[in-house]
A and B are shown apart, each in its own frame.
Chain A
Amino acid sequence: MLKKLKQQSPYHLMLLPSIILVFIFSYIPFYGLVIAFQKYNPGLGFNSPWVGWDNFEHVFNQPNFVRTIWNTLYMSAFKIIGGIVVPVVFALLLNEVARSAIKRTFQTLVYIPNFLSWVIMAGILLDILSSDGIVNSFLKLFGIGSIPFLGSPSIFPWTMIVSDIWKGFGFGTVVYLAALTSIDPGLYEAAVIDGAKRWKQTLYITLPLLMPTIVLMSVLSLGTVLNAGFDQIFNLYSPVVYQTGDIIDTYVYRLGIQQAQYSISAAVGLFKSIISCILVGVSYILAYKVANYKIF
């Protein structure tokens, strides 16, 4: 036994640096979650006085907090649905293009926004969506008055949903296109002989064969339901649209970092982490069961 361990020791040594770093920066914060049940005092640190579930009770009684949950779910749901439908349709249309050079050009163009940070995308959106920006100038040509894309509580969530899909659909397109190219062309030839028109081919061959990929992508996005895009919303929202635009993550940030209400903020964070963890776990199990995709 000892000999075996000695023989193996190089492997364990290799793992050591990662284990130490992950322990410090991922596991000690787990312990730090105790402050969600304390009244945190920076002087006492994690030994602050215990208050039980008070922080949770306090936050769930805040109408603002309940509002952020609704906003989060609302925007997430539409982002996920649009983030599946748009790339699937775009990939199907792109797949009809015969020349591969043209296909690649389109793919290259729509994939670019995916790699830029939300800071830069927000810089662009703030500019083009401003009252004298190019989008409103364009709308003016059709006699449509200036639309406050980022300043109106009723429009803001939709600006977030559409711009999120806009930034991300190139990635989905690449994934679905890869799935489409792996479909056996012989199936289409057989369908043509049977007299199936293009539309029928899409309906009875392409879509069913694309289904596993669609299911996989939907299932994996389940784990992100409570995220709703902190990077995007943080950089684009303002107090005017808190009512419809504030999400759990932005709420935690304002409460914790700006107002230094560490305990309450940690309580909200813990609540979110637990639900997210369950959702991620379920999504991985579903991905394996339904799409036969093993993540670990």
Chain B
Amino acid sequence: MIQDKSIGRRIFHAANYTILILTSLLCILPFINLLAVSFSSSAAVSAGNVAFWPVDFTTKAYEFALTGGKFFTALWISVQRVVLGTLINLILIVLTAYPLSKSNLKVTGRNVYMAFFIITILFNGGLIPTYLVVVKTGLIDSIWSLILPGALPVFSMIILMNFIRGLPEEIEESAIIDGAGPFQILTRILLPLLKPALATVGLFSIVGHWNSWFDGIIYMNNPVNYPLQSYLQTLLQSFEQIMLKSGTDYTQLLSMMNARTGRAAQMFLGAIPILLVYPFLQKYFTKGLVLGSVKG
């Protein structure tokens, strides 16, 4: 672009950078404040002395969070949920997207199947009827209640279906001539080609499963079965009550921390996995936008 060094242009750039920096700070400073609070003494936090740097540095809040046991139990359930849930999501996405990528002529009833799946994004039975079905299937208090109701993410399936349709047809045709059946074509030939698209929808699933909290709260009667985000949700409302219930072993720790530092520590720990995969997320989420649409 043509360089423009007039005074007006310079003033604009100065103002522009100021706005951009301030807005970005608004997005990032709350996290830094949270981190500073989690590493500060409760006295300093209560006095309102903590801004963006820990005051009276201490790791007591983390020690409390990690020795309580509840945090690790919930973390373990979340890890299981993410691994199992994403795996099942991906298997079903591939198995569904491949036949649906064919025309109605090649797979009789393809359009009916497609409508069957699309109706579920347009309309849903709502909270209560779905809850009653989960109760009836006996999945309450089991990790499967968090995985099976959303086992096929329809949007991700459509993304993959469009991706398969974008592949050159010759690849499949030559495999058919060599005598390969649909299952062989899918596992041996298509799967390796689908990797970039699977990375995208896989990340959607990972983030979705990791961040879900509401299903944990309604489908788990016993809070021991809560995944991490549901457990963190209970901290929002009743941090003090939970601390009182967790026994007297921590009385010493309790005196050195307050609700805010402990909550900040656990919230930060809950955000870490997302921050770790963030570079991939940024890359693939934008890609997913492009993959998902058929312009035409």
User: A: which residues have CB within 8 A of B?
Assistant: 4-5, 8, 10-12, 14-15, 17-19, 21-22, 24-33, 35, 45, 90, 93-94, 96-98, 106, 108-113, 115-117, 119-120, 122-128, 132, 134, 137, 166, 170, 174-175, 178, 185, 188-189, 192, 198, 230-231, 234-235, 249, 252-253, 256-257, 262, 265-266, 269-270, 272-274, 277, 280-281, 292-296
Known contacts A8-B107, A25-B148; 15 further A-B pairs (Cβ under 8 A): A8-B106, A11-B106, A14-B96, A26-B124, A110-B23, A117-B210, A117-B270, A119-B236, A120-B270, A127-B264, A134-B50, A185-B1, A257-B131, A273-B123, A294-B294
Closest 5 CB pairs of A and B: A29-B125, A32-B129, A269-B126, A117-B211, A123-B267
Q: Smallest CB-CB separation from B34: which chain A residue?
A: A124
Tell me whether chain B's interface is mostly helix, strand or loop, or mixed: helix
Q: Which residues of A contact B233 (CB under 8 A)?
A: 119, 235
Pairwise interchain contact B236-A115, C-beta atoms closer than 8 A: no
Q: Smallest CB-CB separation from A280: which chain B residue?
A: B122
Q: Which of B20, B27, B100, B181 has a CB less than 8 Å from the CB of A112?
A: B27
Pairwise interchain contact B113-A19, C-beta atoms closer than 8 A: yes
Q: Does B73 contact A (CB under 8 A)?
A: no
Q: Which residues of B contact A90 (CB under 8 A)?
A: 20, 23
Q: Which residues of B contact A120 (CB under 8 A)?
A: 229, 232, 267, 270-271
CA distance A280 to B134 in the complex (A): 26
What 1/0 mask marks residues of chain B from 265 to 296 whose CB sits below 8 Å from any chain A CB?
A: 00100110011001001100110010001111
Pairwise interchain contact A256-B128, C-beta atoms closer than 8 A: yes
CA distance A295 to B23 in the complex (A): 33
Q: Which residues of A contact B229 (CB under 8 A)?
A: 117, 119-120
With contacts defined as CB atoms under 8 Å apart, how many contacts are there between chain A and chain B in the complex?
Answer: 247
CA distance A166 to B26 in the complex (A): 8
CA distance A19 to B233 in the complex (A): 33
Nearest CB of A to B103, in Å: 12
Interface pairs (18), CB distance under 8 Å: A14-B186, A17-B92, A22-B120, A32-B128, A115-B278, A123-B235, A124-B30, A174-B285, A188-B1, A198-B12, A235-B233, A235-B236, A256-B131, A266-B128, A269-B125, A273-B125, A295-B158, A296-B114
Q: A29-B129, A35-B129 are in contact. Are A24 and B137 (CB under 8 A)?
A: yes
What 1/0 mask marks residues of chain B from 1 to 42 whose CB sits below 8 Å from any chain A CB?
A: 110100001001100110110011011101101100100000
CA distance A253 to B128 in the complex (A): 8
Pairwise interchain contact A270-B126, C-beta atoms closer than 8 A: yes
Pairwise interchain contact A262-B128, C-beta atoms closer than 8 A: yes
What 1/0 mask marks residues of chain B from 156 to 171 whose CB sits below 8 Å from any chain A CB?
A: 0010000000000000
Q: Which residues of B contact A96 (CB under 8 A)?
A: 12-13, 16
What 1/0 mask marks residues of chain B from 190 to 229 whose CB sits below 8 Å from any chain A CB?
A: 0000000000000000010011111000100000000001
Pairwise interchain contact B274-A115, C-beta atoms closer than 8 A: yes
Pairwise interchain contact A22-B293, C-beta atoms closer than 8 A: no
Nearest CB of B to A252, in Å: 6
Nearest CB of A to B196, in Å: 17
Pairwise interchain contact B118-A296, C-beta atoms closer than 8 A: yes
Q: Does B102 contact A (CB under 8 A)?
A: yes
Q: Which of B50, B96, B124, B267 has a CB less than 8 Å from the CB of A18?
A: B96
Q: Does B246 contact A (CB under 8 A)?
A: no
Q: Which residues of A contact B17 (CB under 8 A)?
A: 97
Q: Smallest CB-CB separation from A21: which chain B residue?
A: B151
Q: Which of A11, A192, A249 has a CB less than 8 Å from the CB of B107?
A: A11
Pairwise interchain contact A112-B278, C-beta atoms closer than 8 A: yes
CA distance A125 to B30 in the complex (A): 8
Q: A8-B108, A18-B92, A115-B274 are in contact. Are A293 and B295 (CB under 8 A)?
A: yes
Q: Which residues of A contact B134 (CB under 8 A)?
A: 25
Pairwise interchain contact A252-B128, C-beta atoms closer than 8 A: yes
Number of interface residues of B (CB under 8 A): 97
Nearest CB of B to A45, in Å: 8
Q: Does B260 contact A (CB under 8 A)?
A: yes
CA distance A29 to B133 in the complex (A): 6
Pairwise interchain contact B24-A110, C-beta atoms closer than 8 A: yes
CA distance A277 to B271 in the complex (A): 33
Q: Which residues of A contact B264 (CB under 8 A)?
A: 123, 127
CA distance A265 to B130 in the complex (A): 12
Q: Does B179 contact A (CB under 8 A)?
A: no
CA distance A5 to B108 in the complex (A): 8
CA distance A18 to B158 in the complex (A): 14
CA distance A106 to B19 in the complex (A): 11
Pairwise interchain contact A122-B126, C-beta atoms closer than 8 A: no
CA distance A228 to B280 in the complex (A): 29
Q: Which of B102, B129, B295 has a CB less than 8 Å from the CB of A30?
A: B129
Q: Does B177 contact A (CB under 8 A)?
A: no
Nearest CB of A to B54, in Å: 13
Pairwise interchain contact A257-B127, C-beta atoms closer than 8 A: yes
Q: Which residues of A contact B212 (CB under 8 A)?
A: 117
